Amino acid sequence: MKMIWAVVRWTHLKDVEQTLFKIGERSFSVTKIKGLGEEKGYLEYDLVSHLKIELIVPKDRVTKIKEAIVKAARTGLPGDGLIAVLPVEECTKIREEQEADPPQKKRLREMR
């Protein structure tokens, strides 16, 4: 499993949500954040509002999800954001106290 950690402009949330839904991703978290990127030439810096989107997915879905987020969030201007992919060693559902499967595997089991 992998965690995709994406920082995008808050104005692109609906586009990213819709794009993720279209490729079958329904489980993700969104957090309001503020930060600074690599802006150059400014004398004063104000923290910029962005959104952090987090997904835990099977390794084979990472490329498709990254491409979808870039397609939905890219303007070509500074501040578009970034995407990081991190390993997930384990994930435990608190309610069931058992290891969680990625959402795609759960949906496949429910469809059987």
Provide the pLDDT for residue 92.
85
Q: Which tens digit of pLDDT belongs to each residue from 79-91?
A: 899 999 999 988 8
pTM of the model: 0.79
Q: How many CA atoms lie within 13 A of 86 on its CB side?
A: 12
Pairing of strands 48-57, 98-99: unpaired
Residue tagged 């400014």 (tokens): 42
Ramachandran bin of 41, using left for φ above 0, alpha for ψ from -120 to 50, beta for the remaining angles: left
Beta strands in 36-87 (DSSP E): 48-57, 81-87
**Order of strands across the sheet that contains 29-35:** 29-35, 48-57, 2-9, 81-87
Which residue ranges form the domains of the chain, and what is each CATH number?
2-111 (3.30.70.120)
